[in-house]
Structure 1
Amino acid sequence: MGITVTELGPTTGVAIEGLSGSQLVDRSVADECLAHLDRRGVVIYREANINDDDLVAFTRLLGQAVPLPMGGDPDHPEIQRITRDASQSPLAAYREATFFWHIDGTTDEVPNKGTLLTARRVSDDGGGDTEFANTFAAYEALSDAEKAEIEGLRVVHSFAASQLLVYPNPSEKERAAWDRNPSREHPLVWTRRSGRKSLLVGATAGEVTGRSAEEGRALLDRLLEWSTQPQFTLRHQWRQGDLVIWDNTGMLHRALPYSQASARLMHRTSLAGEEAVA
């Protein structure tokens, strides 16, 4: 069977069929993947059925694979299990926060460049699809007046902001635990060295510096709603063996809700960031 490449949404997503397993661990395949990521933000290898060794090897062809916390596999410290089953992952209790639009690593100076996610088991309860929203395209589509309005604004990102979406009335102990995670202030508009710009919004965006809580919240909500319109988004319905890679710096993402009893299990790797937010 030949290899087919299909562009998906108006601004976002490429699906590739006909490559699987160790075929992905190839310099030319990785270079093509990086080119697609630069143009379209999300690359989907349909039913790639890649094993853990090859997943790590392919990740290293795309960039620097980073060890992930609480992965649970000493042979593959770069792999983290994504599940709501507490017996499979100590991070299972926090997965409900991923049901909200977010970018990974927004409390870091240099967020991860990209994420790879492959489906070991898919959801059996009708949930668990993953959606993406292109914040490069969303910024570009703003009017000149809207771009001028937000230029120079800064936003405080925190773990607490994302958890408040799930648990709006935390106990003092819970809030204190969240606040032990460091927050970070970033520009609302992330300008790359290349000059390309994107919006840095999502679940961790808690407040706009220098604006009242109400005014800042209204602006952040408006920009998130703008960025997640159909022309900027892509929904992926998982099949077992699918491998999805996305540009974490310019793609909001979220999982559609699935239950704690769901069989859904993903293996994730991440690419180290290459450019600080500026």
Structure 2
Amino acid sequence: MSVATETKLRTENIKPKIGSRVLNSKEELLSGELAAELRDLIEQRGVLVFPKIDFTEDEQIAFTKTLGNYAPENPDGSVSKITLDVKENPSAAEYLKGSLYWHIDGTRNDVPILASLLTCKVPSPKGTGNTGFSNTYAAYDDLSDEQKAEYDDLKVLHAPWASLFYYEPEPGLAKLKGMQAIGEKVLPLVWEHKSGRKSLVLGCTSHHVLDVPYGKSAEIIHGLREWATGPDFTYSHEWEAGDLVMWDNTGTMHRAEWYDPECGRMMLRTKLEGEEPWAE
């Protein structure tokens, strides 16, 4: 007589306040039996690493669908190529330059995506092309009570065009207007989630804090970014072919670390549809 066995989630923490490695097999992950636990773990840890899991494109999509509603970026539902190589990604390579700076995806949308899943097909040379992550839940939690009281009710204008000045300090007017056409949105500096937890909403799309002098605004935005991207709250993943990394976009900043656009680095991305609008 066969005996049913329960699939156990096997993990190990990467750092005390961010990141866990998931050590289950491809078959166990694709079964969907671990989906609820993985959803809980990604909120707690910010980043989940699946070392050398070697998903095919179809398997990556199937795994994404076990975790929530798949949010395809392409009309045919395929995975998205993430690379700065203009030959491979001519339409997005320019826009992706902003990904080299700390950010949260979807700051101009009413509902940001829940999570991104990135598979490495071709890594860049060692020492380049890592992806950095910052746990903005943990960064908020470790602020002093006085700081929390100061920041809790502040609002920030977020705009993709603000990120343009990080990599092109003197853009032409046409390029600026093109980026401005993408849109902008006022968001809380501190996002109180439906769960009751709070996270910082930061990154290179942050333009200014509302109703605060510009000098003080810059101190708040850049000071908190410096705090949240300190060693306690960050993890830099050095990619190997076959790795999959998933991160909670609602409480984690990320950035690609510099690499040569012509080195062949190629990532494949899927996303989970957002489930919670930004707090008012």
- What TM-score comes out, normalization by structure 1 length? 0.93
Partner Cα separation in structure 2 for residue 3 and residue 274 of structure 1: 24
* 2:191 counterpart of 1:186: no
| 1:67 alignment counterpart | 72
Cα drift, residue 264 of structure 1: 0.7
**Is the CA contact (8 Å cut-off) linking 1:78 and 1:270 kept in structure 2?**
no
8 Å Cα contact 2:156/2:206 also seen in 1: yes
Deviation at 1:3, TM superposition (A): 7.9
> In the alignment, which residue of structure 2 is the partner of 1:15?
21
Partner of 1:253: 254
Q: Judge which range, 23-32 or 115-124, deviates more.
A: 23-32
The alignment yields a C-alpha RMSD, in angstroms, of: 1.6
On the 8 A contact 1:125/1:262 being kept in 2, the answer is no
Aligned partners of 1:272, 1:49: CA distance in 2, in Å? 23
Amino acid at match of 1:244: V
In the aligned structure 1, how far is the partner of 2:18 from the partner of 2:78? 27
Superposed counterparts of 1:8-87, under 5 Å: 8-20=14-26, 22-68=27-73, 71=74, 74=76, 77-87=77-87
* Whole-angstrom CA distance in 2 between matches of 1:263 and 1:87: 10
Distance 1:35 1:3 in 2: 12
1:88 corresponds to which residue?
88
C-alpha distance in structure 2 between counterparts of 1:214 and 1:170, whole Å: 23
CA distance in 2, matches of 1:18, 1:136: 26
Correspondences of 1:120-269 after superposition (within 5 Å): 120-124=121-125, 126-269=127-270
1:276 aligns with 277
Deviation at 1:78, TM superposition (A): 4.5
Q: Show CA shifts across 1:181-224 (max 9, x none).
A: 11000111000112110000011011111112222111100000
User: Identity across aligned pairs (percent)?
Assistant: 36
**Offset at 1:16?**
2.0
For residues 104 and 216 of structure 1, what CA distance do their matches in structure 2 show? Answer: 22
1:124, CA displacement in angstroms? 2.5
Q: Which runs of 5+ in 1 are unaligned?
A: none
In the superposition, relative to structure 1, how do residues 238 and 245 fare at CA in structure 2: closer, same or farther (>3 Å)? same
Q: Which runs of 5+ in 2 are unaligned?
A: 1-7
Q: Which amino acid aligns with 1:37?
A: I
Q: CA deviation at 1:134?
A: 0.4
Q: Please say if residues 47 and 239 of structure 1, whose CA atoms lie closer than 8 Å, have aligned partners that are also in contact.
A: yes
